Amino acid sequence: MTSTLTPVPATAVEAPAIGWDGVSVRYGDAHALRDLTLDVARGETVALLGPSGSGKSTALKAVAGFVRPTSGRVLLGGRDVTGEPPHRRGVGVVVQSYALFPHMKVEDNVAFGLRARRLPRAEVAARVTEMLAMVGMTAHRGKLPRELSGGQQQRIAIARALAIRPPVLLLDEPLSALDARLRQDMLDELRRLRGELPDTAIVYVTHDQTEALVLADRIAIMRDARLVDVGPADELYHRPPSAFTAEFLGGANLIPAEAVAGGARVGDRTVPAAHSAVASGPALLCVRPHALTVEVPGPDGLPGRVTAVQWRGSGYRLEVALDCGATVSADLPALTGVPAAGEPAAVRVGAACVVAREEP
Ligand SMILES: Nc1ncnc2c1ncn2[C@@H]1O[C@H](COP(=O)(O)OP(=O)(O)OP(=O)(O)O)[C@@H](O)[C@H]1O
C-alpha cells in the first residue's frame, strides 16, 4: 500500500494581519526604529511596551503609513503596503489626543470614514448606531466633542476608528490623557471591547505595564529603537529572558550572578531558579520584591544588612544591601518580624526567581 502526502494549499496558512519585516526608520543620523521584525495574527492583541523614545510610536506609524521606513517592508494580510498612503491601508487608528473633529457632532465624527468611503446612507446610519452602542455612547450622539469628558471623547475616537470595520486597529497610548480613575474604567472597557472584536488584530502602544498585561496576548518590549523581547504576557512576566524585561515588566531585583545548571551562584551560595535564559557565565538573578523573605542571618540565604525600612500600610518595604554588592527590595507582610535598619539579615530568594541575560 502506498501513502500519499497531500500538499497543504498555500491559502491554508493564513498570512499575519500585520507584519514588520526588518523595518528601520531614521531621522537624519538618529534611529527611531532599528530592524523590527514582528508579526501580529488575526484576532491577536500585541502591546508595544517600552520607555519614552524607544520607538513604539514609530513602529505603529509605519503600519498606519504616517512614516516611511528607511528600509524594510510593512505587510498587511501578506500584502506589501510599504509605499501606500495611509487612506489606502484600511487600518483604524486611535491616538493619545482623541483628535475628533471639534465642529462635528458625535454621530458625524463616527460617520466620517464611512461617508468618505461613500457607503449608502442607510448603512452609515446603521453602523453609527451599532458603534455608539458598542462603546456605550448612544445617549450622546447629538453632542459636540467639547460637551464630553476625556474618556467619552476617547470612546468616540475608538468608535470612529472601528466604524470602517478595519481588520487592523492601532492604538497609540489611548488612555494616557485620562486621569487615573477614568483610565481604570477605560481599561475595563477596552478589555470588554476586545472580546467583541474576535477577528481584529490590535497593536497597543503603551509605556504602562498594567495596560499591557491586562490587554495583550503578547507583549513586545522595546528599548533604544530595538525590540528586546517578545512573548505571551504571562510568560514574559514569569520568565523574563532579559534583565531589562524583568525590571520593566513588574519591577524586579537584579542580583549579579553566575549561571549554573538549575540556578545561579551568588557569592559562595547556589540559588535554585525556576527558569534560566542563560546556560552558563555571567547573568542576573531576577526576583520580584514580594518573592523575597528577610530573616536573621543563618546558614541559608544571602547575607547582608538592612539599610531602610518603610511602612506601606499593608506591609513593609525593606532595602537590604547584600554582601555580594547588590541592593535588593523586599515587600513583607505586616505580621512578619521586621528587622530594623542597620541590623544584619539574610535574604532568601523564593522558588519563582529566574536567571536572565544581562543585556538586551
Ligand atoms: N519626526 C521626528 N523627527 C525626528 N526624530 C523623531 C521624530 N519622531 C520620533 N523621533 C525620535 O525617534 C525616537 C523614537 O520615537 P518614538 O515616538 O517612536 O518613541 P516612543 O517609544 O513612542 O516614545 P513615547 O512613549 O515618548 O511616545 C525618539 O528618540 C524620538 O525623539
Residue 305, domain CATH: 2.40.50.140
CA distance 217 to 232: 6
In the chain, what are the helix, strand and coil shares in percent, each to the nearest 5?
A: 25, 35, 40
Instruction: Categorize the per-residue pLDDT at 15 as very low, low, confident or very high, splitting at 50, 70 and 90.
Output: very high
pLDDT of residue 336: 66
The partner residues of 172 in beta bridges, in order of sequence, read 205
- ipTM of the complex model: 0.92
User: Of 235, 264, 284, at which residue does a domain stop?
Assistant: 235
Q: Are residues 250 and 202 in the same domain?
A: no
Top mutation candidate among 26, 54, 228 for ligand 1, by most atoms within 8 Å of CB: 54
Domain that holds residue 351: 239-356
CA distance 21 to 28: 21
Q: How far is the CA of 31 from the centre of ligand 1 (A)?
A: 9
Q: In total, how many domains does the chain have? A: 2
Q: Residues near 18 by Cβ (< 8 Å), separated by ≥ 6?
A: 39, 40, 63, 74, 75, 76, 168, 201, 203
pLDDT of residue 2: 47
Cα–chain center distance at 242: 16
Q: Are residues 39 and 188 in the same domain?
A: yes
Please state the φ and ψ torsions of residue 231, each to the nearest 5 degrees: 180, 175
C-beta 32 within 6 A of ligand 1: yes
Q: How far is the CA of 114 from the centre of ligand 1 (A)?
A: 31
pLDDT of residue 59: 97
User: Of 220, 235, 250, at which residue does a domain stop?
Assistant: 235
Q: Are residues 181 and 268 in the same domain?
A: no
The partner residues of 345 in beta bridges, in order of sequence, read 304
Q: How far is the CA of 33 from the centre of ligand 1 (A)?
A: 9
Element (H, E) at 151: helix 150-163
Q: How far is the CA of 206 from the centre of ligand 1 (A)?
A: 13
pLDDT of residue 341: 87
Asked if residue 2 is part of any domain, the answer here is: no
Ligand 1: atom nearest CA of 31 is 12
C-beta 53 within 6 A of ligand 1: yes
Asked if residue 105 is part of any domain, the answer here is: yes
Q: Are residues 102 and 245 in the same domain?
A: no
User: Of 235, 270, 299, at which residue does a domain stop?
Assistant: 235
pLDDT of residue 8: 53
Interval 153-202: pLDDT, tens: 988 998 898 888 889 999 999 888 777 777 888 888 888 888 888 999 99
- Tell me which residue of 226, 212, 132 sits closest to 175, measured CA to CA: 212
C-beta 54 within 6 A of ligand 1: yes
Asked if residue 252 is part of any domain, the answer here is: yes
Taking a C-beta distance cutoff of 8 angstroms, is the pair 359, 303 a contact?
Answer: no
What's the rounded mean pLDDT across residues 213-242? 93
* pLDDT-wise least confident of 1-5, 10-14, 109-113: 1-5
Q: Are residues 206 and 278 in the same domain?
A: no
The span from the first CA to the last CA of the chain, in angstroms, equals: 54
Smallest CA separation from ligand 1 atom 24, residue: 52
Q: Are residues 196 and 128 in the same domain?
A: yes
C-beta 58 within 6 A of ligand 1: yes
**The model scores a pTM over 0.80:** yes
Taking a C-beta distance cutoff of 8 angstroms, is the pair 219, 208 a contact?
Answer: no
The partner residues of 355 in beta bridges, in order of sequence, read 276, 285
Ligand 1: atom nearest CA of 207 is 25
C-beta 223 within 6 A of ligand 1: no
For residues 292 and 227, the model is more confident at 227
Smallest CA separation from ligand 1 atom 11, residue: 32
Asked if residue 53 is part of any domain, the answer here is: yes
